[in-house]
Amino acid sequence: MSRDLTPGSLKRRGRLRVYLGSAPGVGKTYRMLDEAHRRHDRGTDVVVGFIECHGRRHTENQLQGLEVVPRLSRRYRDTDFPEMDLDAILARRPQLVLVDELAHTNIPGGRHGKRWQDVEELLEAGIDVITTVNVQHLESLNDVVQKITGIPQRETVPDEVVRQADQIELVDMAPQALRRRMAHGNVYKAEKVDAALSNYFRVGNLTALRELALLWVAGRVDEGLRDYRATHNIDRVWETRERVVVALTGGPEGETIIRRAARIADRTAGGELLAVHVTKSDGLAGASPGALAQQRQLVEALGGSYHVVVGDDVPSALLAFARAHDATQLVLGTSRRGRFARFLTGPGNGQTTIDLSEDIDVHMVTHEFTGRGRLPSLGRRHSRRRTVAGYSAGLVLPALLTLVLSQLQHGVNLTTTALIFQLGVVAVALLGGVVSALLASVIASLLLNYYFIPPIHTFTIAEPNNVIALLVFATVALTVSSVVDRASQLAARGARATAEAETLSTLAGSVLRGADAVPALLDKTRTAFGMDSVALLDRASGEVTARSDSDGEPAADRVVSEVPVNARAVLVLAGRRLPAADQRVLTAFAGHLAAALERDRLATVAAEIEPIKAADKMRTALLAAVSHDLRTPLAAALASIGSLRSPDVEFSPEDRAELLGMADESLVKLTRLVDNLLDMSRLQAGALTLHLAPTELSTVLVSAMESLAQPDAPVQPLDLDTVPPVLVDPPLLERVLANVITNALRHNAPGAPVLVAASQHQGRVEVRVVDHGPGIAPEDRERVFLPFQRLGDSDNTTGLGLGLALSRGLAEAMGGTLDVEETPGGGTTMLLVLPAAPDADAEEAEDEDADEDAHEETGA
């Protein structure tokens, strides 16, 4: 759904209010009509666009006093169906319109295929809409509801349509209360109540649907709460739900703290676990991607979610993420650094996070690697803070050494004093680099000369040896400082090169494993380079074909950069200014993206060519089959008829009957082959017309047996009367059964009957055609469904080999399946699975709403 947000828009968009029901019968329609009366009494122009009463007295009473737009009648398959008259409502232009059953599928012939699309057009026209929908019709919950209830939901509505409503109101009722309403006759007619209560409306089903509805609405409320806090600049944590954030460094302690955080989140119902890894703004230095990938899998296996944020200040980035997600607790591992390392570098990220946490509880989790780490790495480029610290140390450290050594003047000689000063200069080089070491060396030389080289307290040097010693001291100090700084730079370059290689390796692996490479590449590019958004722009049209945006607010001073991908696309990055060192890796990302785009293009071309190849293969096989298989019965029929018409031969009645029988048999076979070929061509072209209707299996089996070449063939039906009707096209099902049974008779053991058994399972009917022949090897079971395939059978008189291929195609066209199983004891079982015809109570449970009157509601 798109909203018109352009400054020059002349008309406002209508407001959408949705009554979301936890189950059919909870009273959504009644509540919608009650709201309509309330607004009508306030002077709002309200009309009823479409309401389904289903003959319910309380709902019909609620319609009184409201203007109802006449319905439009559409004819479909020789039946007239009432539909909402969208054009009449648009012409009437009320302030508010009521539209029931948002997920409804419109009868073909209208402007839109779905009712929610009609509602979208009403909203775009500036008309407010109130509508209803059940939780089982939400697209994201479709498969979950089917697993719970065993009933597939054929009509669904995209979650985004409901999620973007201006108001969502949950209409809920306890399972026991809803079952009482049904027992009182307020939902279904009396003859349907018992079946409904024992099937769809079981307490377990209703409880599960109720939980799904509550969780879905809770997620929507959570989104609204985050938007409200962002709009009003509320940074404080609102403890509406227990959310636990665990900080991951990629270190070996990760699994321990993840499991500890998961246990904390599980202590309260509805607790949420979020794992976050903070990467530097260049995105190329940090933990091993492999270790983080394993920890991500563990987080997701424990029901949590994994996130990556960019930030040079780890504590601030962690707390910003936690506050943005309204987290109540933050879990960190204790530092792996030893005491000496902590003494050199000061408080670590854990202690800083605690100091800045304010209203967020911080848990420091101990682990076996605590205090067992190495000294801090000196191979990184110096930050501004460290550079300032180096300059300060270059000024202060020589003075402190002078103060201390001057007190020990009689116990320390000049050589020792110079070595101590030299050690101080090296320490400054380690801290701040060569420039700060140069500053420290100059100051140390001056202090050494003034306080420790005779004559003391003057800058004069009396002995030549002391001049040489001072020069050697300055040279050694500068040389060592340069070597240390150079080693630090080389280590930083090596670490960056390693990180680049790991990033590109992870990138290549994720692209190779991903089903959709382009979105994965854009997400990876945005995360790796710490950008606000990354988009793929089409050069010709200027349209964005794909994009990836971060969850946070964009930076106020963000920069837009462009990188060419290929002749048709360009990569646009919005965010921080990229340094020159990142351009090389970014070019590699663009190269991967170009390869992914080319692969997608080739896949599209291959997909377009595949039907042509299949059709060409089918045409070649068809011509080969026609050249032989059709020629045989045609030749036999022509020979028989030609002999009968010959004036030179006088046939006896027996010979004449035999020739007529041969001609009739050949023409019947020819007709069957032509019918199969035509049906197969229709299936291949997608032009097969279906007329689905509830059908009894036993009736179709009788017709299928009559169409066999041997109507008295040994076929034994079992339990066909115990299964419900199936929703199929009867003539097509007859063809399927006839082909499958003919195949079973052909390969069955002599004297053994072919069994046709049926059973019911979760809204499906399973039909098994069982023979006790030689069976089919597992590797050949799919080959039997290929057209013109007889698995090496040299008997070409039995047809084109289309029977099973056509049967599977017809079964799938009717919403079923056809597969091969092994018969216990030897032989082949063809398993035909068909959709059961919807039961009356299940149909109403899926497509209808129930209302409730005020007396019943207060009584419950």
- DSSP secondary structure code for residue 105 in this structure: B
Q: Which two tokens stand for residue 805?
A: 């291929």
How close are the terminal C-alpha atoms of the chain, in Å?
38
- DSSP secondary structure code for residue 629 in this structure: I
Distance CA 97, CA 420 (A): 88
User: What would the pLDDT profile of 234-245 be if each residue is shown by its tens digit?
Assistant: 555 555 567 889
The beta strands (E) that lie in 255-406 are given as 272-279, 305-310, 329-333, 361-365
Find the mean pLDDT for residues 671-688: 61
The reported pLDDT for the residue numbered 566 is 78
pLDDT band at 615 (very low <50, low <70, confident <90, very high): low
Task: Of 577, 575, 568, give the one whose Cα is nearest residue 600.
Answer: 568
pLDDT band at 107 (very low <50, low <70, confident <90, very high): confident
What percent of the chain is helix, strand and coil (3-state, nearest 5)?
50, 15, 30
The reported pLDDT for the residue numbered 593 is 77
The reported pLDDT for the residue numbered 19 is 92
Q: Is the pLDDT of residue 102 over 70?
A: yes
- DSSP secondary structure code for residue 410 in this structure: T
Beta bridge pairs of residue 727:
694
pTM recorded for the entire structure:
0.38
Q: How far is CA 783 from CA 170, 739, 779, 787, 790, in A?
A: 52, 16, 8, 9, 9
Is 211 strand, coil or helix? helix
User: What would the pLDDT profile of 174-207 be if each residue is shown by its tens digit?
Assistant: 888 887 777 776 776 665 666 666 667 777 778 8
The reported pLDDT for the residue numbered 127 is 92
pLDDT band at 554 (very low <50, low <70, confident <90, very high): low
User: What would the pLDDT profile of 754-781 be if each residue is shown by its tens digit?
Assistant: 888 888 877 788 898 988 888 888 888 8
Instruction: Give the CA angle between residues 290, 296, 298 to the nearest 5°.
Output: 110
- DSSP secondary structure code for residue 184 in this structure: T
Distance CA 765, CA 491 (A): 69
User: What would the pLDDT profile of 320-379 be if each residue is shown by its tens digit?
Assistant: 888 877 788 889 888 776 665 555 555 677 778 888 877 788 888 887 776 655 444 433
The reported pLDDT for the residue numbered 255 is 87
Matching residue, tokens 């001072």: 470
Distance CA 100, CA 132 (A): 5
What distance separates the 2 farthest-apart alpha carbons in the chain? 152
List of residues 6+ apart from 810 with CB closer than 8 A = 679, 683, 688, 732, 733, 735, 736
- 129: number of CA atoms within 13 Å, CB side? 34
Q: Which two tokens stand for residue 169?
A: 């109101």
Q: Which two tokens stand for residue 52?
A: 């389904």
Is 549 strand, coil or helix? strand
Residue 377 Ramachandran class (φ > 0 left, ψ -120 to 50 alpha, else beta): beta
Distance CA 246, CA 264 (A): 10
Find the mean pLDDT for residues 601-618: 70
223 or 305, higher pLDDT: 305
Q: Is the pLDDT of residue 790 over 60?
A: no
